[in-house]
Chain A
Amino acid sequence: MDGSTMSRGLLRVLTCGSVDDGKSTLIGRLLHDSQMIMDDTLAAITRDSRKHGTVGEEVDLALLVDGLEAERQQGITIDVAYRFFTTPRRSFIVADCPGHEQYTRNMATGASNSELAIILVDARKGLLTQTRRHSYICSLLGIRHVVLAVNKVDLVNFDQQVFDRIVGEYATFAAGLGFHTMVPIPVSGRFGDNVSTRSGNTPWYRGETLLEHLESVGVEEELTQIPFRFPVQWVNRPNQDFRGFSGTVASGAVAVGENIVVAASGVTSHVTRILGPAGDQKRAVAGEAVTICLADEVDVARGDVLAPIADRPAVADQLAAHLLWMDEEPMLPGRQYMMRIGNVWTSASVTSIKHRVDVTTLDHQSATRLSLNEIGLCNLSTAQRVAMDPYARNRLTGAFILVDRFTNRTSGCGMINFALRRATNVHHEHFLVDKAARATALHQKPMLLWFTGLSGSGKSTVAKLVEQALHRAGRHTYSLDGDNLRHGLNRDLGFTDQDRVENIRRVGEVAKLMVDAGLIVLASFISPFRAERQMVREMLGEGEFLEVFVDTPIEICMQRDVKGLYAKARRGEIANFTGVTSRYEPPGAADIVLDGGSSQPEALAQQVLEVVNRRLAAG
């Protein structure tokens, strides 16, 4: 395995197919035929074949790759697994992706790092919904080379007509998917036909074997030919004499002496030194992990992107992207997520869903949310301006992930179509009369008291008492509640989850303006979701948001039922009623918790006033 025989370098391959297409068996066959299976491992699976195997007395090669105990028992593969094999001509990393419908996210994961996809089709079944779904995801994630492995040809008597029909159908479907190569091969993973050796059973097939094709296919994206991008990962400053910016060159190349620009700030400089894994080097190209030193004391931090002055990435806080949702909790427009793009973490939300893509027909549908495994074209807004390229131009600077703010799950991934231009033209006005000036004129510290709790918990009652007391003390206040907002500003909103999110977002924005005006704002909303209450908290300044949880047991709320709503909800006359048919997430750490079940409203109001007065006194 010396350097000369490894001329084609590394190929990252994705395998996808439906359950029972024989994917694990095919990979097992590739490993076996390329002699990557050691004697003791083979002995172990021969033993296991009798226990778990599905092919009688033969050695079940699928057992080479079906790893976890749980999935062996269930007979399915439940996660992306990586396999490694090497032939004299090339090294391979195979991402083995499960075919179950609910695991589209795993496919996307495997595809994001792969250059070629093997799409398996069972010769007996032909193209399935999953075949189309997987092909579309491969295309969306930027895979440009595909092998259509028509498997189990032994079970259709090595019939050329069956093969030709499947290939014809697939070619029609895949025509619009932008694949540069699509190579169909008739194979049998179980018996090895056309996997590593040409089969005598398919004399009509004159193409390469699967392994020959994998060894020879050229997939080199001309990463070095596209503009230089260097997302700064870490600032290396071990002492006063050295300051370098570490990271991996995402695309293009840079050399000592060349001019660069820091994308977001527009500051320019030139490269004085490049430090690579083996010391100083003159030049760095895509894929290399290096440390770059600049001539001037420019302000550069993790997350910044260095680029050529003449060919910069877009810098924006609005963008259009295909979003693939990977979380059981659906994506709701307006909800805040953490976005990682390059080395930047910023908060972001979807401002609109242009359409959802039906991944079977590729039709566009209207949508108000994205559920697990759904894909939509969306507009997003980020809290911070970030550098980006279209994904089709650059897979590394055009991709992002969205992370749930509470569970930290990776909830979605996105491929950027383009930055939205309006973002670059809108600048925030800096007023001379600011919040502090207005607050001083009113002799008070502005703040937002946010009352949350079930319908009938007593939120509005307590808020009214608090407002009266503040007013008597000469404070400038305003109350916001469903009554004065649902009939005006928010009258277009209903009570579905996504409308509730939007409702709270608007309330938050209005409250923020009022706090900016110097007022003490009291907002009473069921506001059932933690995420949105947190969003409002973050819209305001430090110490301006007080969360008041009116904690009244639902039984008592139902007993009170001032407006008769619980009765209606239980009769099924109101859909999405919090506590009955829609959930309420109690705050984990409210600033004030009121026991609405056992205390009188006056006492509860007093409890709130004590905290508010302390804050006002603190200045």
Chain B
Amino acid sequence: MQPVQTQSLSPHLRRLEAEGIAIIRETVASFRNPVLLYSIGKDSSVVLHLAMKAFAPGRIPFPLLHIATGWDFRDMLEFRDRRAAQLGARLIVHTNPDGLASGIGPLTHGSQVHMDVMGTQALRQALDIGGYDAALGGARRDEEKARAKERVFSHRAPGHVWEPRGQRPELWGLYNTRIAPGETMRVFPISNWTEFDVWDYIAAEQIPVVPLYFAAERPMLRRSGALIMRDDDRMPLNEGEQIERMWVRFRTMGDWPLTGAHESRAQTMEEVLQELRLSRVSERHGRLIDNDQEASMERKKREGYF
């Protein structure tokens, strides 16, 4: 599939695009068995788009891996299957079978246990099962302080452990891709992009994204100061709670009980960009898992959370 022809990229975006493509090619040239961690969000949609460009006119030479927690928005799953089919990409979906058997969920076990078992542990399982030595992901340095120091090629010791002191200096574009048996690499082609760059690029390249990013009238529930979209009836209503139909959109994707929406009327790409320009709240604000405790991202990263 030939990418959309565009002339409208700014020099800044062109530079970021070229860097991303180079990093993805480097991964394929240097590793035996790479995989793309496809979270279905806007960031991994951009990485997927860059990968198509990197290998054109050929196809993407690695599979897509989605870690399904059992609490993904239904819209995301539909979008995922449609997109994979369109691109003819090989899609692997993994859910932690142990967690599934034990009935782990965010409502019964809390967000921390749920994300650890169904997110972090599931990812490790899937990487081990596939024997992947490199995993491409859509993390960005501007997302959170703990990520500001993340490498483009982030080394993981056996067991997927991230050691702050084991990370390698990255000079010029001369990435050190050498690993010993049992070690793996996480690779972040859009490390240097900001949230705005991502949207700017999505708009310019007309990259399809999950409809939840755009405002619509949705069945919403107010709980602990967050706006939750009740995507199925597994979430019982507490006394006094009720479902309201509200105009909202989501700024990040995740498990529906853990992802807060905000009120918005931004239904088009241009309206979303305009809203972002005026926003005074950071991107991760809507993620209920990050606020658990100070430095929680750093701890999660050490344990292997993506």
Contact = CB atoms under 8 A, between A and B. Distances in A.
Interface of A: 1, 3, 6, 9-10, 38-41, 48, 64-70, 78-84, 86, 91, 93, 96, 105-106, 108-109, 112-113, 233-234, 236-239, 242, 246-248, 275, 277-279, 287-289, 291, 302, 326, 338, 340-341, 343, 345, 395-396, 399-401, 403, 408-410, 413
Contact of A6 (B10, B171, B279): B10
Contact of B176 (A9, A237, A401): A401
Contact of A112 (B57, B141, B172): B172
Contacts of A105: 169
Given A86-B194, A400-B174, A234 B25 contact: yes
A34 B197 CA distance: 17
A291 B26 CA distance: 14
Contacts of B298: 67-69
Interface stretch (B13-21, B89-97, B119-127): B13-21
Contacts of B129: none
A68 B146 contact: yes
Contact of B12 (A91, A246, A343): A91
Given A9-B10, A399-B172, 16 more contacts: A6-B11, A9-B15, A67-B146, A68-B164, A69-B298, A86-B196, A109-B171, A113-B172, A233-B22, A277-B14, A278-B5, A287-B18, A289-B17, A338-B178, A399-B171, A400-B174
B22 A1 contact: no
Contacts of A343: 29
Interface stretch (B80-88, B101-109, B213-221, B280-288): B280-288
Interface in B1-50: 2-8, 10-12, 14-15, 17-19, 21-22, 25-26, 28-29
Interface string B154-171: 000000000010011111
Contact of B173 (A10, A67, A345, A396): A396
B53 interface: yes
Contacts of B264: none
Given A233-B26, A238-B57, A340-B176, A279 B192 contact: no
11 contacts: A10-B11, A67-B298, A82-B191, A113-B171, A234-B26, A238-B59, A248-B22, A287-B18, A396-B172, A401-B174, A413-B169
Nearest to B146: A67
B3 A278 contact: yes
Contact of A403 (B17, B25, B178): B178
A289 B55 CA distance: 11
Contacts of A113: 171-172
B171 A112 contact: yes
Contacts of A1: 196, 200, 277
Among B4, B6, B170, B176, chain A packs the most CB atoms within 10 A around the CB of B176
Nearest to B178: A408
Given A68-B298, A279-B2, A83 B29 contact: no
Contact of B56 (A81, A275, A326): A275
Interface of B: 2-8, 10-12, 14-15, 17-19, 21-22, 25-26, 28-29, 53-59, 141-142, 145-146, 148-149, 164, 167-174, 176, 178-180, 191-192, 194, 196, 200, 277, 279-282, 285, 294-295, 298-299
Contacts of B196: 1, 86
A413 B178 contact: no
Nearest to B150: A82
A341 B175 CA distance: 10
Nearest to A35: B280
A118 to B, nearest CB: 17
Contact of B10 (A3, A82, A93, A96): A3
Contacts, number: 170
A248 B176 contact: no
A68 B56 contact: no
A84 B12 contact: no
- The 4 A-B residue pairs with the shortest CB-CB distance, nearest first, are A238-B58, A67-B145, A38-B282, A289-B21
A39 B281 contact: yes
B28 A40 contact: no
B58 A279 contact: no
B22 A82 contact: no
Nearest to B2: A279
Nearest to B16: A10
A190 B17 CA distance: 36
B22 A67 contact: no
Among A41, A84, A340, chain B packs the most CB atoms within 10 A around the CB of A84
A106 B176 CA distance: 15
Contact of A41 (B8, B10, B282, B294): B282
Given A1-B200, A410-B176, A233 B169 contact: no
B281 A40 contact: yes
A79 B28 CA distance: 28
B15 to A, nearest CB: 6
A234 B176 contact: no
Nearest to A246: B25
